[in-house]
């Protein structure tokens, strides 16, 4: 399994354009919420007493992956995903309603369309075409961006930027310094 740093560096390399990043800030949560609504319609019954939706199973599997990558971030992701899933289950469980179906269609398909528009603006293909792990790292990348935006990166050992960002910022500063010296 690749390290968190390798996954984030790879993900960031595909998302340099600010317009693409903004579309992802909207589209990734929309796709997640749409997926959780869809998965809340499918349940497994255990001894006809306990019912667990596929959305909870998906979250448990995703969290196992996240805990293997970074425990502190996975704890925050646990809180975020549990809250999101409680809301999505409230909207979608036990069966599709007109409202939950329309919401699913708008969020899920609209999210994917917006995500592809972002990659069209960046003029590159989505990274999940080369590695499915990029689908799983996208929510973690957004969580890290939110943590950094709140200046809380030091609590998660996120003070350093991904390698690609560090290189990009260094080159931008160098270009700016070269330009100012002329």
Mean pLDDT of the chain: 86
Burial class (CB in 10 A: 0-12, 13-18, 19+), 111: buried
Model pTM above 0.85: no
pLDDT value for 2: 84
Tens of pLDDT along the chain (182 residues) come to 788 888 888 888 888 888 889 999 999 999 999 999 999 999 998 888 888 999 999 999 999 999 999 999 999 999 999 999 999 999 999 999 999 999 999 999 999 999 999 989 888 887 777 777 889 999 999 999 999 999 999 999 886 555 434 433 434 344 444 444 44
pLDDT value for 160: 59
For 121-130, the pLDDT digits (tens) are 888 887 777 7
For 2-25, the pLDDT digits (tens) are 888 888 888 888 888 888 899 999
All structural domains of the chain with their residue ranges? 4-181
Q: Please tell me whether the peptide bond between 51 and the residue prior to it is cis, using omega within 30 degrees of 0.
A: no
Dihedral in degrees, nearest 10, Cα atoms 102, 128, 29, 100: 20
């Amino acid at each position: 399994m690749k390290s968190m740093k390798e996954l984030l560096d790879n993900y960031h390399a595909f998302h340099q354009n600010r317009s693409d990043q903004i579309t992802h800030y909207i589209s990734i949560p929309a796709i997640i919420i749409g997926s959780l609504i869809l998965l809340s319609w499918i349940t497994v019954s255990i001894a006809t007493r306990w019912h667990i939706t596929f959305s909870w199973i998906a979250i448990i599997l995703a969290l196992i992956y996240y805990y293997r990558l970074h425990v502190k971030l996975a704890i925050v992701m646990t809180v975020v995903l549990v809250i999101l899933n409680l809301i999505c289950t409230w909207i979608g469980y036990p069966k599709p309603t007109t409202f939950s179906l329309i919401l699913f269609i708008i969020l899920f398909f609209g999210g994917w369309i917006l995500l592809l528009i972002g990659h069209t603006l960046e003029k590159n293909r989505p990274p999940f075409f080369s590695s499915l792990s990029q689908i799983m790292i996208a929510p973690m990348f957004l969580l890290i961006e939110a943590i950094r935006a709140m200046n809380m990166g030091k609590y998660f050992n996120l003070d350093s930027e991904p390698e690609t960002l560090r290189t990009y910022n260094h080159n931008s500063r160098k270009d700016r310094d070269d330009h100012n010296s002329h």
